[in-house]
């Protein structure tokens, strides 16, 4: 292999690897955003796919259609507005947890470039990378809101909701621009929430003993 041919091969390999890494990071980042708001990242993905900024997998192309955009936009507006009502937001947290997991799994399934032709592998990977991540973040924000409800009698909840809305929108948009950075940040938050949860469970068991 000549020097120029080797350089060409390396460049192609690096480009391919970066494309795969970027796609995986975008799938994880966008899916994780469902932990803050379920329909905002789904709307972002639908708009991006509709405008051909990126593409979903062949069997999930319906996510990037105009009817899907209308449905996600309507649901996103209702979801954002509902979280500004104290106490109702706590009820929504309990109801929305499985929905966040489902939305994160679906987005990851539609974006992650893994397990082509192997549906079971794709769904399992999507659940672990997308659903579990979104679910963990949603549980974390739900517990934070519950603490806010007890500490401020719900008066501080709208402030928390505004922060979640800002994070959901900003992180969803940045998932297409700097996916690796956003995915890394959100995964670190997930790890921190998991660590705190394990410590709390461990301390609770030790007190019982």
Is residue 71 situated within a structural domain?
A: yes
Name which residue leads in pLDDT, 13 or 34.
Answer: 34
In the prediction, which pLDDT does 90 show?
A: 87
In a domain, 3, yes or no: no
Residue 86's SS3 state is coil
For the chain, report the end-to-end CA distance as a whole number of angstroms: 68
| pLDDT (0 to 100) of residue 2 | 53
In whole angstroms, what is the distance from residue 99 CA to residue 108 CA? 14
Q: Which range has highest mean pLDDT (10-14, 66-70, 204-208)?
A: 66-70
Mean pLDDT within 41-59 = 93
Please answer whether residues 174 and 42 qualify as being in contact, where contact means their C-beta atoms are separated by less than 8 angstroms: no
The rounded distance, in Å, linking the Cα atoms of 189 and 32 is 10
31 belongs to a structural domain: yes
Is 124 contained in some domain? yes
The total domain count for the chain is 1
Closest CA to 30 of 44, 17, 20, 19: 44
- Assess whether pLDDT exceeds 50 at residue 38: yes
Range of the domain at 50: 19-194
Domain membership flag for residue 8: no
- 149 pLDDT band, cuts 50/70/90, is confident
* Percent share of the chain, pLDDT over 90: 61
Residue 61 within a domain:
yes
* 13, part of any domain: no
Residue 4 domain-assigned (yes or no): no
């Amino acid at each position: 292999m000549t020097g120029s041919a080797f350089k060409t091969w390396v460049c192609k390999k690096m480009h391919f690897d970066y494309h795969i890494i970027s796609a995986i990071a975008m799938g994880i980042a966008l899916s994780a955003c469902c932990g803050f708001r379920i329909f905002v990242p789904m709307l972002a993905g639908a708009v991006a796919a509709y405008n051909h900024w990126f593409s979903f997998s062949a069997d999930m192309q319906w996510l990037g259609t105009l009817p899907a955009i209308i449905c996600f936009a309507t649901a996103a507006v209702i979801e954002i507005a509902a979280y500004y009502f104290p106490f109702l937001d706590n009820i929504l947290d309990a109801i929305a947890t499985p929905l966040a997991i489902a939305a994160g799994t679906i987005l990851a399934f539609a974006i992650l470039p893994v397990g082509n032709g192997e549906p079971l592998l794709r769904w399992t990977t999507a659940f672990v990378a997308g659903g579990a991540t979104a679910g963990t973040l949603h549980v974390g924000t739900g517990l934070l809101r519950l603490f806010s409800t007890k500490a401020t009698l719900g008066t501080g909840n709208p402030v928390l909701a505004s922060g979640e809305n800002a994070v959901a929108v900003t992180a969803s948009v940045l998932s297409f621009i700097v996916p690796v950075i956003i995915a890394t940040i959100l995964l670190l938050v997930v790890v921190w929430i998991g660590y705190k949860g394990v410590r709390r469970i461990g301390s609770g068991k030790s007190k019982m003993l």
